Structure 1
Amino acid sequence: MPIEGVAIKKLIKHCDDRGFFMELLREDDAIFGRFGQASMSMSYPGVIKAFHYHERQDDIWYFPVGNAQVVLHDKRPDSPTFGETNVYYMGEDNPYLLFIPRGVAHGYRVLGARPATIVYFTNEAYDPGNPDEYRIAYDDPEIGFDWRTKFR
């Protein structure tokens, strides 16, 4: 069952012999709330950046380069999906935006042999004097997620 409040926007590439064009986020998108900040980060193969969550901030994630395994865990006690964990595979091979509501812990692992770049949008600008970021270990037993790749 998908975590309550999480939303996906499939991205559409318009290709021709020059390359492609793709809209990411528009102010009239249902997935969009209030704009706060746009940021970008690159991580090397195999890196795990997990977990953290916010009390005031919503995130929208996009991986334009590389691929990632994204893991969400609902920490909101009043949510019908409290305690649920979801996994999404995102990146250049599967392009979409992922809306992550406040109170949902999130993190990712870079897949494949090359770095991954994440571009993310938030509804608040980062305030170093009052950061809305709460860390949880990637191997937190409450979440209990196994990051290892499973072979069948």
Structure 2
Amino acid sequence: MTRVAVTGGAGFLGWHVRVLMRALGLPDPVLVSRADLADPDALAARLDGADRVLHLAGVNRGDPAEVADGNARLAAALARGLARCAAPPPTVVYANSVQAGNGTPYGDGKALAATTLADAGVDLVDVRLPNLYGEHGRPFYNSVVATFCRLLADGSRPEVHEDRELDLVHVTDAAAHLLGAPADGGWDARMPALRLGVRELAGRLAGYADVYRRGELPPLPDRHAVRLFNTYRSHCFPHHYPLPLPRHADPRGELTEVVKSHGGQGQTFCSSSHPGVVRGEHFHLAKVERFAVVRGSAEIALRRVGHDEVVRFAVSGDRPVVVDMPTMWVHKITNVGADELLTLFWTNEVFDPARPDTYRETVEAERVATAVAAR
């Protein structure tokens, strides 16, 4: 698979597909916009020669008639473009839903879209996706997880009016399934689901928020716990950082609490860096990583994968704070002082050379920079 075209590449699932493609070392996909879909000739030019099309564009919320018609209309537009390709992609992977055909406007629209693509003369892979959750979901649109996380990050509490069971799949696992990614990374293309009720979900996320507001780490006993916590953290960044650290002083000196974890494994290490030295220049898909400068002065810079804006934190050992690296953000730390920099790092997992969950990319070469001062 060398050339992939993606509709809906700017959306929630589309962004996670693009991030995973970066992690896999694949070329950036050809992004098909709504304007391309409205012009069959322009669309054919975008699709021509692609090895695979991922059809992710859709309508999830809104007027019922628009939701039903919108999904079918997008599929019909894609089919028209495919018919005009000189070398049409042999495979179209459709991000369908487990709700397809359930009698709702959304479900019926998704089902009709699948039928339209099946009649387009290509090999259609019809993937019935369950409820997806993950980093940077759009509140009140993509999932109840995103909605609860945003409410908690803003200091509110979720209200559950109707409790029901959910099957939740992390969006990176769904992206791996759609791409046919090999099963040797931190993802699982089998899309293992977390089954829990809406009320239990709200309680679990609220527990994360309560612990994390104190700068402490909640229990992270399994991969879904890690990914739910990372989803919550994505709604906190960057405005909740740096996190202040508890400091205790007596005549002997000072003691600073850097990591207080409520369960799960972890690894702590420290590094020294000479003036001007840069560490990092990579991103993680799942790993929770904490930075704390205990001596010297540094700048921590981060950029969301696929975006341009750079967030910068000025940190110093004179006032120790922590910055937790959000998943799928490229990050680095630079010694900007005249003396040696001493940094303490903590991760939620013991380093595994076979699965390092570390993907090289540079922070810089962006057009916009935003400075965030340390509190």
State if a TM-score over 0.5 links the two structures.
Answer: yes
Give the 3-state SS of the residue equivalent to 2:242 in structure 1: strand
In proportion to residue count, which structure has more strand? 1
1:133 is aligned to: 358
1:115 is aligned to: 340
2:249 alignment partner, one of 3, 15, 35 = 15
1:54 is aligned to: 284
| Cα distance in 1, alignment partners of residues 265 and 367 from structure 2 | 33
1:36 is aligned to: 266
Deviation (angstroms), 1:90: 1.3
1:50–1:22 distance in 2 versus 1, CA, 3 Å: closer
1:92 is aligned to: 317
Say yes or no: does 1:103 pair with 2:328.
yes
Number of equivalences: 133
| Cα distance in 2, alignment partners of residues 118 and 103 from structure 1 | 22
2:275 is aligned to: 45
Deviation (angstroms), 1:122: 0.8
Deviation (angstroms), 1:110: 0.1
1:58–1:49 distance in 2 versus 1, CA, 3 Å: same
Say yes or no: does 1:72 pair with 2:302.
yes
1:22–1:38 distance in 2 versus 1, CA, 3 Å: same
1:144–1:50 distance in 2 versus 1, CA, 3 Å: farther
In proportion to residue count, which structure has more helix? 2
1:101–1:138 distance in 2 versus 1, CA, 3 Å: closer
| CA RMSD in angstroms, aligned pairs only | 2.4
Give the 3-state SS of the residue equivalent to 1:46 in structure 2: coil
Larger Rg: 2
1:38–1:12 distance in 2 versus 1, CA, 3 Å: same
Q: Tell me the TM-score normalised to structure 2 length.
A: 0.33
Deviation (angstroms), 1:9: 2.0
Deviation (angstroms), 1:94: 2.8
Deviation (angstroms), 1:41: 1.1
Unaligned runs of 5+ in 2: 1-233, 370-375
Which of the pair has the greater relative contact order for Cα pairs under 8 Å at 6+ separation?
1
Give 1:95's aligned amino acid.
P
Give 2:326's aligned amino acid.
P
Q: Tell me the TM-score normalised to structure 1 length.
A: 0.75
> Do the aligned residues in 1 keep the contact of 2:310 with 2:363 (CA within 8 Å)?
no
| Cα distance in 2, alignment partners of residues 49 and 24 from structure 1 | 20
1:102–1:15 distance in 2 versus 1, CA, 3 Å: same
> Do the aligned residues in 2 keep the contact of 1:35 with 1:121 (CA within 8 Å)?
no
Give 1:66's aligned amino acid.
G
Deviation (angstroms), 1:137: 3.2
Percent of residue pairs identical? 26
Give 2:312's aligned amino acid.
V
| Cα distance in 1, alignment partners of residues 320 and 327 from structure 2 | 22
Unaligned runs of 5+ in 1: 147-152
| Cα distance in 2, alignment partners of residues 111 and 131 from structure 1 | 28
2:178 is aligned to: none
| Cα distance in 2, alignment partners of residues 71 and 132 from structure 1 | 19
